[in-house]
Amino acid sequence: MHVLKVDQLTKTFPQKKGRFTAVDSISFALGEGEILGLLGPNGAGKTTTIQMLLGTLTSTQGSITYFDKNFFKHRSEIMQKVSFASAYINFPHRLTIQENLDVYARLYGLNTKTRKERIQKFLTFFEMWKMRSKTISSLSAGQKTRVMLAKAFLAHPQVVLLDEPTASLDPDIAEEVLTFIRQQQKDYNVSILFTSHNMAEVAKVCDRVLFLQKGKIVANDTPEHLAKSVSIARVELMVGDGLKRTQAVAEELKCETEVSDRSITIAIDERKISDLLITLAKRGVEYSQISIQTPTLEDYFIQKSKEQKKDRV
Domains of the chain, start order = 2-227 (3.40.50.300), 231-294 (3.30.70.1110)
Phi, psi of 276 (to 5 degrees): -60, -50
Q: What is the pLDDT of residue 58?
A: 96
CB of 148 within 8 A of CB of 170?
no
Distance of CA 53 to the CA centre of its chain: 16
Average pLDDT, 10 consecutive residues per value, the chain (313 residues): 97 92 97 95 89 96 98 96 87 92 93 96 94 94 88 96 84 86 94 88 92 93 88 89 91 90 88 92 91 86 71 56
- pTM for this predicted structure: 0.83
CB of 222 within 8 A of CB of 207?
yes
- 243: which residues sit within 8 A by CB, 6+ positions away? 259, 262, 264
- Count of CB atoms within 10 A of residue 218's CB? 14
Distance separating alpha carbons of residues 230 and 301, to the nearest angstrom: 10
Q: What is the pLDDT of residue 308?
A: 63
Identify which of 163, 222, 223, 199 has the alpha carbon closest to the alpha carbon of residue 302: 199
Residue type, 175: E
Identify which of 162, 26, 143 has the alpha carbon closest to the alpha carbon of residue 82: 162
